Amino acid sequence: MVAPQVSVVIPVFNEEAGLPALFARLYPALDALKVPYEVIFVNDGSRDGSAALLEIQYLARPDVTHVIMFNTNYGQHLAIIAGFAHVRGERVVTLDADLQNPPEEIGRLLAAMDAGHDYVGGVRRTREDAWWRRVASRAMNRLREKITRIRMTDQGCMLRAYSREIADAIADGPEVSTFIPALAFTFAHHPTEIDVAHEERAAGESKYSLYQLIRLNFDLVTGFSLVPLQLFSVFGMLVSMGALATYLGVIVYRLFAGEWHQALYALWDRDILSFFLIGMVLFGLGVVGEYVGRIYQQVRARPRYTIRAILESPQNDGP
Ligand code: UDP
Ligand code: MG
């Protein structure tokens, strides 16, 4: 058996209706690439017949098929991480099991890697999803672009190719709530993006409810940015400064109006005072947030940096 060069990782959660169609398109598409490959399905605790179908597919193509069975549902991103921990190929491709990501596009991702990229993101040319999902994800893409250092056009597209180094770095991390396309971006040194096709779900329904989508976006924002925490201190500072300016304004106004004996009473003005104090409280919350943020970064235990290469001559050990 030849060692695989390309490992394809596919999370599966209750996809029995679509799996036969996936198998029918995925394997011919991969065979056509003429590179040794392996497919790693991760059954994310499906409660339908997905596990049985995966088992049958494993028996049909045991040479190139691996199936990891979770005991219960951990979510798409942890399923992919489990796949990453098992890959043997130098290149790793992820795609969804519902055929929304056409397997025929894998060759184009790999071609971009041939051109020297270590991370190739897919950008869905036309998106075949409900309108509210398109609107929401455009807004989230824009927000993420502003508050993190991650530069991606289409964070939600899972049709992506990663170098083995990046997949290993992701699999080695202890993080539980994470967002793989963004995490991979932080580990990549020469990422790129290409347009890919997107199709309607072949069968079954989306496995993400509105609530889960919101949770996922919290994973993305809190996992890669401390801005939400820092907003408090900035807002608190603005409120306090506004209150101080109001004090000054009122005192100066009263002095000029000849009410000099009233001027200092402004300091006791309840409204201005409470604005000032609310500002201080928010600022204090923000400062606590700064510390919490640092603790959070520390416990996340992400590699502090990844080194691409070291240029140095062989060490001269002896005298
Ligand atoms: N998925 C998973 N675990 C989950 C939810 C989804 O493994 O808890 C898989 C699912 O089987 C599919 C992929 O993740 O292969 C994307 O899910 P889906 O197509 O439902 O998401 P959408 O396309 O609606 O964003
Ligand atoms: Mg889908």
Pocket of ligand 1 (CB under 6 A): 11-13, 15, 44, 73, 75-76, 79, 96-98, 100, 206-208
Nearest residue (by CA) to ligand 1, atom 2, is: 76
82 CA → ligand 2 middle, Å: 19
Backbone angles phi, psi at 76, to 5 degrees: -55, -40
* pTM of this structure: 0.86
211 CA → ligand 1 middle, Å: 14
Residue 230's pLDDT is what?
A: 83
| Average confidence (pLDDT) per 10 residues, the chain, 319 residues | 92 96 97 97 95 96 96 94 96 97 96 97 92 91 92 94 96 90 95 96 91 91 87 90 93 87 83 92 90 88 77 70
Residue 227's pLDDT is what?
A: 87
Nearest residue (by CA) to ligand 1, atom 19, is: 206
98 CA → ligand 2 middle, Å: 5
DSSP string, 75-134: -HHHHHHHHHTT--SSEEEE--TTSSS-GGGHHHHHHHHHTT-SEEEEEESS--S-HHHH
Atom of ligand 1 nearest to the CA of 95: 15
Residue 181's pLDDT is what?
A: 96
Classify burial at 166, counting beta carbons within 10 Å of its beta carbon; exposed 0-12, middle 13-18, buried 19 or more.
buried
